[in-house]
Amino acid sequence: MTGLTPEGIEIDRDIAAPASRVFEAFTRAEDFAVWFGTDQVNVPAEELDFVAEPGREWRATMVLPDGNRIHWTGEFREVTPDTRVVFTLTDQPDDPARAEVRVELTPFGEGTRVHVEQDTPGFPDDAKRATIAGYEGFLDTLQRLVTA
């Protein structure tokens, strides 16, 4: 299911790639920079600190087409090869509040079902829908990356 939940949002996507490759895209810095940036945004390698290990903080900068920058930070909470990644994120690095994102990967046939949940405390429904749209863009790019 893709939609709003009482706690936040959830998105399901079937991707025609093995779970190991999809997991790699979620946990390898070079891949993260591609899908997190999508086709519209640059995530410069020199402003990316991204090592997927539990307890490790990560940082990334998005450079928007108009030149504005969004600074992201979070922490990896769980990294289970080929099946699960849990991390936090925020675009307000000075604020200690972080949204938790849970990614579950389930093999099916020749591909992988990706299930993403993100907590969205205090988000109105229109902001939740915008967050879903953002993830859809991420997953479109991730899908192209892992099936190329």
Question: CB of 45 within 8 A of CB of 33?
Answer: yes
3-147: what fold?
Alpha-D-Glucose-1,6-Bisphosphate; Chain A, domain 4 (3.30.530)
Distances (CA, A) of 118 to 10, 101, 121, 127, 130: 7, 4, 10, 12, 13
Question: CB of 45 within 8 A of CB of 32?
Answer: no
Sign of CA dihedral 80, 81, 83, 85: positive
Q: What digits encode the pLDDT tens for the residues 9-67?
A: 999 999 999 999 999 999 999 999 999 988 889 999 999 999 999 999 999 999 999 99
pTM for the structure as a whole: 0.94
Question: CB of 146 within 8 A of CB of 25?
Answer: yes
Domain boundary assignment for the chain: 3-147
Percent of the chain with pLDDT strictly greater than 70: 100
Tell me: pLDDT of 1 over 90: no
Percent of the chain with pLDDT strictly greater than 90: 90
